Amino acid sequence: MITISKLTKTYETKKGMVTGVDNVSLTINKGEIFGIVGYSGAGKSSLLRCMNLLERPTSGNVTVDGLDLTGLKGERLRQARLKIGMIFQHFYLISQKTVGENVAFALKAARLPKGESIKRVDELLKMVGLSDKKDVYPSQLSGGQKQRVGIARALANNPNVLLCDEATSALDPNTTLSILRLLKKINRELNITIVLITHEMNVVKEICDRMAIMQDGRVIEEGDVYDIFSEPKAELTKEFISSVVSFDVPKPILAACTGSIIKVQFKGAVAGEGVITDTVQHFDVKGNFLHGTIEYIQEKPLGLFLMEIQGDPANINRAITYMEGRGAKVEVIRNGL
């Protein structure tokens, strides 16, 4: 669907040339929600803007639906952009126009007859849950409602791709969740490919199928969201995931533990099984939970536990081997004191 090949974007500044995107190659599949994560300055927004050529890459190619956008100019590029909707962090609604007029404004490029345009606006506002706000002005809307208008506007010309640049960063947690659920609904019902830029792993965890982590203009890790959460490789990826799944236990509690401290991870269906309970029952060891959670990513469970295990070292080793044999990943954080 979207193929980015060896893409580089440089900027000329007072201090010289700065590389915003550095030789990035990515493939985004049709119909998926793809997250691009990174801190400010990582290059993720620059990469997104290169996808619809709001910024023209310094080198490399962007192909959407088999069409190389970097080879297009003028009217051909304008027509290609109609099939790529974009949602912004700060909404960018026209304050002097009503909600309906804001959405209709996006249809002008398609040159629809007035009757068809009115019908399309009504369809879009119904889709985003704002049918009763058609004649209201942006100043009368909440942040979440403004973003819903932005989504309706981005969908006006029946795009195949929706680019979201920090679309939920200005919203509170509950509103963010409602917007993410709306995007997921749109993705599933319309089969629109969504590319979502964010610095929040909770956003990726909630709706994305695959993801990429960016640092200093480069993609340092990419893959299935569930796989990255369960097996992060890059240190920055681990840092991002720790913001969602934390194993911080107060030092006084750890200091009071005399047994071995182990971290246990269960993937998929195994997370719902009583592996730890079975282990304690079958081996002469005692277990003390220090921290535990089951996260649901892509509707699949990921179990993460930190525990103290006490007993004879040989029995502890057998217990760990047993858990690993049942599909758990076990990491010894500290051997018994």
State the pLDDT at residue 140.
95
Distance, in Å, from the CA atom of 212 to the CA atom of 223, rounded to the nearest integer, reads 7
Using a 10 angstrom Cβ sphere, with 0-12 exposed, 13-18 middle and 19 or more buried, the burial of residue 51 is: buried
Do the beta carbons of residue 195 and residue 47 sit within 8 Å? Answer: no
Q: Say how far residue 195 (Cα) sits from the centre of its chain.
A: 8
Per-residue pLDDT band at 337 (split at 50, 70, 90)? low
Please state the rounded mean pLDDT for residues 93-118: 86
Determine the pLDDT at residue 90: 84
How far is it, in rounded angstroms, from Cα 306 to Cα 333? 9
The single-letter DSSP state of residue 21 is E
pLDDT at 110 over 80: no
CA distance 316 to 96: 70
Q: Considering only CA atoms, which of 237, 236, 217, 219 is closest in space to residue 228?
A: 237
In the DSSP assignment, the letter for residue 25 is: E
Among 3.30.70.260, 3.40.50.2300, 3.40.50.300, 1.10.8.100, name the CATH number for the domain at 251-334: 3.30.70.260
Q: How far apart are CA 284 and CA 269, in angstroms?
A: 26
Hey, where are the domains in the chain?
Answer: 2-242, 251-334
Q: Are 52 and 69 in contact (CB under 8 A)?
A: yes
- pLDDT band at residue 242 under the 50/70/90 scheme: confident
pLDDT of residue 115: 82
Tell me the per-residue pLDDT of 45-100, one tens digit each, with 9 for 90 and over.
999 999 999 999 999 999 999 899 999 988 899 889 889 999 988 888 999 999 99
CATH superfamily of 2-242: P-loop containing nucleotide triphosphate hydrolases (3.40.50.300)
pLDDT tens digits, one per residue of 126-158: 999 999 999 999 999 999 999 999 999 999 999
pLDDT in tens, 172-184: 999 999 999 999 9
Q: Which two tokens stand for residue 294?
A: 């089951």
Q: What is the per-residue pLDDT across 267-317, written as a single tens digit (0 to 9) for each?
A: 887 766 788 888 888 888 998 989 888 888 888 889 888 999 999 999 999
**Residue 228's pLDDT band (cuts 50, 70, 90):** very high
- SS3 sequence, 155-188? CCCCCCEEEEECCCCCCCHHHHHHHHHHHHHHHH
Tell me the longest C-alpha to C-alpha distance in the chain: 80
Does the model's pTM come out above 0.75?
Answer: yes
Convert 243-310 into a string of H (helix), E (strand) and C (coil). Answer: CCCCCCCCHHHHHHCCCEEEEEEEEHHHHHCCHHHHHHHHCCEEEEEEEEEEEEECCEEEEEEEEEEE
pLDDT at 86: 93
Question: Which of 37, 32, 46 is closest to 198 using CA atoms?
Answer: 37
Residue 224 forms beta bridges with which residues?
210
Mean pLDDT of the chain: 91
Read off the pLDDT band of 31 (50, 70, 90). very high
